[in-house]
Amino acid sequence: MLNTTFYIYLMSRWKSIAVWSICMFALALMFTSLYDPFKGEFDDMLDNAPALMEAMLGPIPTDSSISPEVWLGIELYGLLFPIMISVIAISAGASAVGSEEESGTIELILASPISRERIICEKSFGIFAQLAIMGGVLWLGIVVGSFLFPFDVSLINVLSATVMGCIFGLTISNLTLATQALKGRKGLALAIGSCFVGISYVFNVLSGISDNLHSLKYVSLFNYYDGPGVLVNGLNTTSLIVMVCLSAVCFTTALYVFKRRDIGV
């Protein structure tokens, strides 16, 4: 693996990976530590305004207080984690090949006996490794937090939600990578990736507000990610398969268009 495009990609981003990983670990520790002090306040809110809480959090068992899984779903896996993963994925997908095209170093690689398919494969694999490292650090932070603080959480469910988050990120990064591979423009890829995430989020919110808009959830990637749901109910295999298939389609598109496009015009 040393000195491959995959390795060079990861090495070129080690500072970013390190900073994001530290943030993930710190967030995990922070939210596991805050659960116990704030649990009582959430329980009060649940008693006083059950409809509001259900609207915010979705169905809550009547006999339950805020569990660690629900807590993580509200505070971390509901929005913060997928947004962080989206930002990383969009940036990585647009710049994995895009930065090399902009700087001209892509010509060094293309002048070597390496196929364009291998370049895309190694870059995509590199992005996934980057996302997996960050997801892994987040999960590790929660594991450490569960030992340090009163936070009895299902680590399997947390791991499942983290995996869903990483696949969610991979889908976005492959979409962005495919856009960059198609047009060769990093800025356009960043814009398309950001729009996709934004629209996807809006569709997911709208689908929960009105029955008429309920079907919008099927075109929202956030619906398939559903980190809070996975934390409570465990891995949703159907959603996982949908995201893996979407990611595979984007990846195949990136392979196809990058092989045929003129580079260095």
| Site of interaction with other proteins (CB under 8 A) | 2-5, 8, 12, 103-105, 107-115, 260, 262-265
Shorter beta-carbon distance to other proteins: residue 112 or 237: 112
Q: How far is the CB of 115 from other proteins (least distance, A)?
A: 5
Shorter beta-carbon distance to other proteins: residue 61 or 113: 113
Q: How far is the CB of 260 from other proteins (least distance, A)?
A: 7
Maximal C-alpha separation, the chain = 68
- CB atoms under 10 Å from CB of 250, counted, come to 23
Shorter beta-carbon distance to other proteins: residue 51 or 111: 111
Q: How far is the CB of 222 from other proteins (least distance, A)?
A: 36
Shorter beta-carbon distance to other proteins: residue 13 or 39: 13
Whole-angstrom Cα distance, residue 26 to residue 138? 8
Q: How far is the CB of 129 from other proteins (least distance, A)?
A: 17
Residues 171, 246 contacting (CB under 8 angstroms): yes
Whole-angstrom Cα distance, residue 50 to residue 47? 6
Q: How far is the CB of 14 from other proteins (least distance, A)?
A: 10
For residue 233, give the nearest of 162, 157, 168, 159 by alpha carbon: 157
CA angle 154, 30, 152 (to 5 degrees): 25
Whole-angstrom Cα distance, residue 75 to residue 146? 16
Shorter beta-carbon distance to other proteins: residue 29 or 109: 109
CA angle 125, 127, 129 (to 5 degrees): 70
